[in-house]
Chains A and B, each alone.
Chain A
Amino acid sequence: MIKNLMCKPSKKSKVLGFSCFVCVATSLIQTSFGQLDFNDDGLSDLWTEVYKAHNLSADSDADGDGYSNQFESEIGSDPFDPDSYFGLNSYRFESDNTLLILDFQVVKGVRYLIESARKLGPQAIWRTETVINSNGNGPLVIEHFIDRDADSTRFFRVRQVIDEDRDGLTSWEEWQLGLDDQDPLSNGGESSDFHWAVDRHLTGLDLELRDSVVPIVFGLNLEVRKPVVFKGIARTPEEVSRFLNQATFGPTFDLIQGFDNSGESFASWIDSQIAIPPTLITDSMEREVLGGAKRNHQLFHRGWWRAAAEGADQLRQRMAFALSQILVVSGQGSDVVRGSPEAAGAYYEILQNQAFGNYADLLEAITYNLGMGSYLGHLRNQSENPELRIFPDENYARELMQLFSIGLWELNEDGSRRLDYIGNPIPTYTNFHITELAKVMTGFNWGGTNSFYEYKNRPDLPMTIWETHHERGEKFLVNGGYLPANMNPADDVRITIENLVNHPSAGPFIGRLLIQKFVTSNPSPAYIRRVARAFSDNGKGVRGDLGAVIRSILLDPEARSGSISLGERYGKMREPYITYAHLSRAFSSKNEDDVFYILTDGHLDYFGQRPLMSPTVFNFYSPNYQPADESIGGEFFAPEFEILTPLRSVLWPNLLRKNIELGFAFSPNYPHLTRAHDFTIELALVNDPESLVNRLDLVFTYGTLKQETRQIILNMMNDPGLSDEKKLWTAIYAVMTSPEYVILR
C-alpha cells in the first residue's frame, strides 16, 4: 500500500526547465504480514507491549490522528499520541532548487529513504538519494542537496521501510529486539528473525525491547529506566505434545516428557532433527532381511515401518512421507516399483536424503529415478521421429509442472490466483510448453547400461540419459525460459528444473501443500506467504531450501498459537496411516525377532493409504477436496476426508481396535513376529482412571480431550465387570477414534 500524504509542486526554478515536486509516501506491505502477531489481533504484540495498547482493536484510531491502530502498529508509532505518526509537516526548496528542506514526523528505530524519480506513474524509477536512521519520535528536519545533473523535472518522496529483509518482523520490531532489518538471519541462528522471536516466546523466554519506561515510584521520578519486556509464555507439556503430534509420527509419553524437561526450544529441536544422520529406508530394509524378510515388494513396506516407527529423525521421516504424496510414484501403475523393493527403496531414499535439501536438487534426483521414469513414462522416452509417427511421451512433463512444481494457475505469493486484466486466472503453461518439456525428458534408459536400448536389471540405479535419443533441437520453457539446440542432455534437464523452481508460483504452490500435510488444511494467505518467502529465500539468498520451509511451517504463529487453533476451520484430519504408526510408537510395540512384519496388503482398503501405492499420480486424496457434507460458506478444504468414505470410517476403527487388543499380529501362530504393546505403565494406572486418561490425553490429544469424552471414558472404567485390559483397550480406542484426536489442531 502506498499512502500519499502530500504532493505539491515547488516554485518553478529560475533555471530553465528544472522543477521539483515533493511527495511523501510510506510503503507498507500488506496487513499482518510484517509483524509479530501471536494473538492474531492484527496488531504487533511488541508494539502492544511498548505502548500498553492491549485493549485496542486493529481498525479503530485511538488518538484520532487519522491513522488506524493497525497502521500505527506497522510503522511503530504511538497510538495514543496524535503527533506520533509518519508524515510530512512542511518542505521548501532553496538555493535555486538545489536544496530541499524536509520537515517530517518520524518514528524511532526505523529507516527512511529519500528517493527521487524523473517521472511518475508505472514507469517511474525511484532512486535512493539518502538513507536516514531515525533515533527518536517526533519531527525531523532534513536538508537534502539536490544533485542537478540535468535540466529536468524531479519528484521526491520519503518512504518508511516496513520489512526490508522480508523476514516477517517490521523494521520497528527488529530495532526493538536489537535485530537488523537488512538481514533476515541477524539473530545468528538458522531460523529467521521472525521465527527466532516466535520460538523464544514459546519457550518461555522474555523478549527484551529497547524501549524503556520510567516507572514512577511514590510520585518521585527516580530516573531509573526499566526495559519493556514481551513476556514469554510458560511452555506446557501439552504444547510440546501438540508440536510433536504435528512434526512426528506421533509422540510417546517419554518423548514429550524428555523434550519438556530439557527446556529445548522448538527451533533448536528442528535444527537437531535436520542435523542428525538420516535413517535410510534401504538400511531399514537390509535390517529386515537380516530378520528373515524376503526380497519382495513387502520388504519395502517393512523397511518403511521400521524407519517411520523407530527412526530418531522423525521430522525427516514425516517430510519424506509428505513428499511421497506430492511427488507421487506408485506401485499401482509401475511394475518396476511394485515388483522391485530396490526400486521403491531407491525412490524413497531420495525423499529421505533430500527432505531438507534444495527443491531443485530433489526434482533433479527424482527425474533420474528409475521408479519415476517407469511410473510417468520417461524411461525409454525418445526424441521425436516424425517418420515413424513417434513423439516424446508427455506424461512426466505434464506432472512435473502441474503437480510437482508450479501448478496449473499462476499464483500470488499468498497462494491466491493471479488474475489478468479482465479478472481471469492465468494458466502457468499451455500444451505447447508440455510438448516442449517432453522433449527435454528424452533419452533415459536403465542405469548401468551401454546404450539407449540395452536392458540391465539394476532397479537400484538411477537412469542414464543418452545423447543418442535425446531431442537435440531447441526447447521453449515456461516464463520465457529457453534451451538452445544441441545442449548437453544433463544441462537441459537441470536448467529446465531450475526454470520451474524459479517460477514465482513454486513457493506458494509447494508451501501450501506442505502446510496442509503438517498443520492445517486451510492456511491463511499470510501464512502461505510467510512460507513462500522462506521457499524463495532461506535468509542466505538460497531458493528452494526445504529446511527453511519446514522451519517456517512449524514455527509460524499460525502453527503454534493456541488462540488461532481454536478457529472453526483450523486444523486437519490426521492421515489415517500416521495414526496407525502412532499406535505402534505410543506403546513401544516390540517382538522377539525385532522385525516389522506388519501385514500392509489391505491398508489401501482400510485406510486409503499405503506408501508408494497411490491409485493415481494425484495421490490418495486431493489437496483441493472440499467435503459437501454440510453447506459451508466459501472454500473449505479437507483433503484427507476424500479417503474417509463411510466404509473406511468403520474399517479404520475396526483395524485400530484389533491392533490395540492384539498388537500388530502377523498370525497367532507366530508370536515372535507379533509386535506386542508394552502396556506396563498404563495397566498400573487402570486403578487410577483420572491419571490414565490424563496420560492418554497428553500423548494423543495434547490436553484437548473434551470434558464429556473424559467422562464417557471414566464411566466406562467404573464398570466392575470389565477386566483391566479391556478397560485400557477401550480407553485407548475411545481416544484414538475421537474427533479430538483424529482432527489435529
Chain B
Amino acid sequence: MMRENHRGCSAYTRRDFLGEASCAALSGSAAFSSILNLSLLGDLAADELPVGDDYRALVCVFLSGGHDSFNMLVPRGSDEYQEYVEIRRGLSLSRDDLLPLSATVEGQQELGLHPELSKTRDAFDSGDLAFVANVGTLQQPVTKENYQLSPQFLPDGLFSHSDQQKQWHTSLPDRSSTSGWLGRLSATLKDLNQPGSFASAISVAGVNLVQTSPGVLPYVIGNEGSKGLVDWNNPNWAIGRSVVSSQLDLEYKNLLQRTFLSRKKDALERNNVFSEAVKSVDLEGVQIGGGSLGDQLKMVFQTIRARADLVVRRQTFFVELGGWDLHSLLLEPHRLLLRQLDDALGDFQKALNAAGLSDQVTTFTASDFGRSLTSNGQGSDHGWGGHQIVVGGAVDGGRIYGEYPDLYEDNPLDVGRGRIIPTTSVDEYFAELACWFGLSRQQLPIVIPNLNRFYDLTQVQQPLGFMNLDY
C-alpha cells in the first residue's frame, strides 16, 4: 500500500505557519475559547488535502464504570508480585495463571496478563498492541504532598464516575466543558472530510461528550446500523410520508422545538446516506466475538469499509462496554468482562488485518478511572490511575509505555487505599493518538489545551512514542 508522507505533529507545512500565527493570538487561557473559531484555521487547509487512500480512524473503546486494570496487567517479578498480593489480598490473581509478557525494554519490570487475555497477548507479541501504564486525569503533575495539601491542583470531582468519565472525554479536568477531545480533533481536521460530513464522528454507543464539539455531534447508530421511518418508501404510506415531510418544513421559535425538529430532519437525511453506503459492504466471513462489544465493533468495521461512499478520510468511533464498577464482587465478573474485551479487540484487529486496513485504524481503551488496590471485601472501589490498551498496525507494539507504578501500600504514589496517582496524563495519551491522526504540532493545543503542562511542545520527541508516525 502506498504511504503518504504525512507525519502528524512533526511535518511543517504552509498551513502550520499560518496556523502558528493564528494560534499565537490564542495563547494561554484564551486558547480554549478559540475552539469556537476553528473555521479560521480550517479554511486555510483546503488546498493541502493529501491524495490517495488517505484514511485514518480512531476507535475509542470506553470501559465504563472504572476498570480494575491492576488485575489486567499484573507484576510477575517475585518481589513486586508479593507486594501486589500483600495489598490486593482476596482480589489477587495467582501468579501461575498470568500470561507472561516479554518486556523488551531494559530495566522494565516483569509483567503478566490476566489469563483471559490470550488474543491480547498474541497481538502484543506480534507487535500490534501496546499498553500504556498508569494513565489518568491530571490538571498538572502532582505528588502525594500536593494531594494532601493542594486540592486546587487536583482534577475536579476526583473518584466520582460522572466527573472522571467526563474528564476522560474532555481532557480538561480543571473546568467544565461541553466539548470532547475527539470532537475538537474532528473539528480541527474537518477539511480533510466533506464539508458538513456527519460521518466524521460515529457512535455505536449513544450520545457522548468525547466526540462532541461546536459543529460536531456524533452520528449515533445501533449495532445494526442506522434506521429510518418505517414504510418511508412504501406507497401505502405515501400520505404519512407527505404529512411528515410537510411538518419538517415548519419553522419554530422555541429553541427546544427547533432542536427537536432539526434532530429528526438530520436523522432522516443521514439515514438515507448511511444505509445506502453500508448496504453494499460484504461482511461474509467476518466474525467478531465478544458479545455486545463485538457487535458494536463489527458495525464499526462495516462503516470503515464504506468510507469511500461516506466520503470520509478521518473518522472517530465510540463504542462502550459497561459493567466494570465492581464494588462488591470483582474476580468472576471481571474475568468475564475481560474475555469479552479480549475476543472483541482480538477479532476486530484480525478483521482489519484481513481487510488490509490495520495500519489505518487505531483502537484504544479508556475508562472512568483505575480502582483501589485494597478491597471492599470482595470488590474494589473507585481509584485514579490505570492501564490502557492501544492496538493497530501503526502502533509500535510489544511494549509497555509510561511507568508501571509500585503497588506496595503507602508508596509515594498511593494516596490511600491503593489509589495510585497517574504518572502519565490523559493529555499525553490522547496527544500521541491525535498526532498520528494527522494533527500538526501547532494544532495540538487546540485539541488538548492543557498539554503543555506535561509535554514541551517544542521538543522533537512524540509525547509517548507508542504510535509509529511513518504510517
Which of B26-34, B344-352, B372-380, B456-464 sits within the interface? B372-380
Q: Taking the nearest CB of chain A, how far is it from the CB of B274, in angstroms?
A: 9
In contact, B217 and A628 (Cβ under 8 angstroms):
yes
Q: Using an 8 Å CB-CB cutoff, how does the interface string of B131-175 with A read, 1 for contact, 0 for none?
A: 000000000000000000001000011111111000000000000
Interface residue count on the B side (C-beta < 8 Å): 75
Indicate if the CB atoms of B377 and A709 lie closer than 8 Å.
no
Within 215-235 of B, Cβ neighbours of A (below 8 Å) are at 215, 217, 219-222, 226-230
Q: Is B207 an interface residue (CB 8 A)?
A: yes
B266 at the interface (CB under 8 A from A): yes
Given A388-B89, A650-B229; A431-B158 close (CB under 8 Å) = yes
Q: Is the C-beta of A312 less than 8 angstroms from some C-beta in chain B?
A: no
B160–A402 touching, CB < 8 Å? yes
Interface residue? B357 (CB, 8 A): no
- Specify which chain A residues have a CB less than 8 angstroms from the CB of B50 in the assembled complex: none
Q: In the complex, are the beta carbons of A631 and B328 less than 8 A apart? A: no
A521 to B87, CA, bound (A): 47
Q: Please report which residues of chain A, range 592-645, place their CB below 8 angstroms from some CB of chain B when the two chains form the complex.
A: 605, 615-618, 622, 626-632, 636, 638, 641-645
The distance from the CB of A102 to the nearest CB of chain B, in whole angstroms, is 50
Judged by a CB distance under 8 angstroms, whether A408 is at the interface is: yes
Tell me, yes or no, whether A290 is within 8 Å of chain B by CB: no
CA distance A71 to B428 in the complex (A): 56
B376 touches A381 (CB 8 A): yes
Which A residues are CB-close (under 8 A) to B375? 388-391
B261 contacts the other chain (CB 8 A): yes
Q: Given the known inter-chain contacts A616-B161, A646-B271, please indicate yes or no for A730 contacting B220, CB distance below 8 A.
A: no
Given contacts A649-B263, A743-B256, contact A642 B207 (CB under 8 A): yes
Q: Please state if A742 and B260 are interface contacts (CB–CB under 8 Å).
A: yes
Give Cα distance in the complex from A379 to B128, angstroms: 43
CB A20 to nearest CB in B, in angstroms, measures: 48
In the assembled complex, the CB of A333 is this many whole angstroms from the nearest CB of chain B, namely 7
Q: Mark A647-663, 1 if CB is under 8 A from B, else 0.
A: 10111011001100000
Q: Check if B78 is an interface residue, CB within 8 A of chain A.
A: no
What's the minimum C-beta distance from A143 to chain B, rounded to whole angstroms? 57
B258: A residues at CB distance < 8 A: 630, 739
Residues of B within 8 A of A726 (CB): 239
Q: Inside 8 A of A646's CB, which chain B residues have their CB?
A: 219-220, 226, 263, 266-267, 270-271
Of B17-25, B55-63, B113-121, B240-248, the stretch lying at the interface with chain A is B240-248
Residue B213, interface by CB 8 Å = yes
Instruction: Determine whether the beta carbon of B257 is less than 8 Å from that of A743.
Output: yes
Interchain CB contact (< 8 A) of A722 among B239, B246, B376: B239
Does residue A52 face the partner (Cβ distance < 8 Å to B)?
Answer: no
Q: A630-B262, A647-B220, A647-B227 are in contact. Are A716 and B254 (CB under 8 A)?
A: no
Residue of A whose beta carbon sits closest to that of B36: A631
- Contact, CB under 8 Å: B257 / A626: no
Instruction: Chain B residues near A389: list those with CB within 8 A.
Output: 87-89, 374-375, 409
Query: Distance in Å from the Cβ of A563 to the closest Cβ of chain B?
Result: 14
A573 adjacent to B227 (CB under 8 Å):
no
Answer whether A379 and B259 are a contact pair too, CB < 8 Å, given A389-B87, A616-B64, A645-B206: no
- A residues 526-576 in Cβ contact with B at 8 Å: 567-573
Name the one of A618, A649, A742 contacting B162, with C-beta atoms under 8 angstroms.
A618
- Chain A min CB distance to B193 (Å): 18
* Other-chain residue from B178, B243, B261, B267 in contact with A626 (beta carbon distance below 8 A): B178
Please tell me if B255 contacts chain A, counting CB pairs below 8 Å. Answer: yes
Question: Does B443 touch A at the CB level, under 8 Å?
Answer: no
A713 part of interface (Cβ distance < 8 Å) = yes
The answer for the CA separation of A392 and B261 in the assembled complex, in Å, is 48
CB distance from A561 to the nearest CB of B (A): 16
Closest-by-CB residue of A relative to B218 is A645
Residue pair A644, B260 in contact (C-beta under 8 Å) = yes
CB pair A638–B259 under 8 Å, yes or no, is yes
- Interface pair B230/A654, CB less than 8 Å apart: yes
Q: Is B49 an interface residue (CB 8 A)?
A: no
Closest to B90 in A: A388
**Closest residue to A608 on the B side, CB-wise?**
B206
Contact of A333 among B151, B242, B270, B325 (CB under 8 A): B325
Q: Decide yes or no whether B334 CB sits under 8 A from chain A.
A: no
Q: Does B412 contact A (CB under 8 A)?
A: no
Chain A residues within an 8 Å CB radius of B2: none
- Which of A382, A650, A730, A734 makes the CB contact (< 8 A) with B271? A650
Given A391-B374, A719-B239: A628 and B214 within 8 A (CB)? yes
- CB of A172, distance to nearest CB on chain B (Å): 35
CB distance from B315 to the nearest CB of A (A): 17
Beta-carbon contact of A568 and B417 below 8 Å: no
Selected contact of B260 from candidates A388, A605, A730, A743, CB within 8 Å = A743
> A647 to B250, Cβ gap below 8 A?
no
Residue of B nearest to A653 (CB): B229
**A638 with B256: CB separation less than 8 A:** yes
Number of interface residues of A (CB under 8 A): 78
Taking a contact as CB atoms under 8 Å apart, the answer to whether B247 and A734 are in contact is: yes
Contact of A716 among B242, B250, B372, B379 (CB under 8 A): B242
Q: In whole angstroms, how far apart are the Cα atoms of A439 and B228 in the complex?
A: 51
Known: A646-B271, A713-B243, A742-B260. A393 touches B381 (CB 8 A): yes
Q: How far is the CB of A366 from chain B (nearest CB, A)?
A: 17
* Cα–Cα, bound, A725→B161 (Å): 50
Interface assignment of A394: CB less than 8 Å from any CB of chain B:
yes
| A431–B159 CB distance below 8 A | yes
Contact A615 B328 (CB under 8 A): no
Q: Is A745 an interface residue (CB 8 A)?
A: yes
Which residue, B64, B220, B266, B372, has most C-beta atoms of chain A within 10 A? B220
Contact A740 B327, beta carbon cutoff 8 Å: no
| Closest chain B residue to A711, Cβ basis | B246
Distance in Å: Cβ of A690 to nearest Cβ of chain B: 17
Give the chain A neighbours of B226 by CB distance below 8 A. 646-647
* Contact pick for A645, options B90, B220, B230, B261, CB 8 Å: B220
Neighbour of A521 across the interface among B88, B220, B256, B264, CB < 8 A:
B256
- A390–B376 touching, CB < 8 Å: yes
State the CA gap A742–B256 with chains docked (Å).
9
Give the chain A neighbours of B322 by CB distance below 8 A.
Answer: 332, 615-616
Chain B residues contacting A622 (CB-CB under 8 Å) are 162
Q: A629-B217, A716-B242, A730-B243 are in contact. Are A708 and B250 (CB under 8 A)?
A: yes
- Cβ contact within 8 Å between A391 and B381: yes
- Indicate if B67 sits at the interface (CB-CB under 8 A): no
Minimal Cβ-Cβ distance residue in A for B229: A650
Write the chain B residue with the least CB distance to A651.
Answer: B227
Whose C-beta in chain A lies nearest to the C-beta of B178? A626
When distances are taken between beta carbons in the complex, the residues of chain B under 8 Å from A434 are 159
A643 cross-chain contacts in B, Cβ below 8 A: 207
| B268 in contact (CB, < 8 A) | yes
Contact A745 B254 (CB under 8 A): yes
Least distance between A622 CB and chain B CB atoms (Å)? 8
Q: Is the CB of B263 within 8 A of A390?
A: no
- Is B212 interfacial (CB 8 A cutoff)? yes
Q: Which residues of B contact A393 (CB under 8 A)?
A: 327-328, 376-377, 379, 381
Q: Can you report 24 residue pairs joining A to B where beta carbons are below 8 Å apart? A: A333-B325, A377-B328, A377-B379, A380-B377, A390-B89, A395-B325, A431-B158, A431-B159, A434-B159, A569-B254, A569-B255, A569-B256, A570-B254, A616-B161, A618-B161, A628-B179, A628-B213, A629-B262, A632-B255, A644-B260, A647-B221, A650-B229, A733-B243, A739-B257
Interface residues of B (CB under 8 A from A): 36, 64-65, 87-90, 151, 156-163, 178-179, 206-207, 212-215, 217, 219-222, 226-230, 239-240, 242-244, 246-247, 250, 252-264, 266-268, 270-271, 322-323, 325, 327-328, 372, 374-377, 379, 381-382, 409, 417
The 9 closest A-B pairs by CB, nearest first: A646-B267, A739-B257, A645-B220, A377-B327, A393-B376, A389-B374, A743-B256, A649-B267, A712-B246
Given contacts A573-B260, A716-B242, A719-B239, 16 further A-B contacts (CB under 8 A): A332-B322, A388-B89, A388-B90, A390-B374, A395-B327, A569-B256, A616-B161, A618-B161, A628-B212, A628-B213, A628-B214, A641-B263, A646-B226, A650-B267, A709-B250, A739-B257
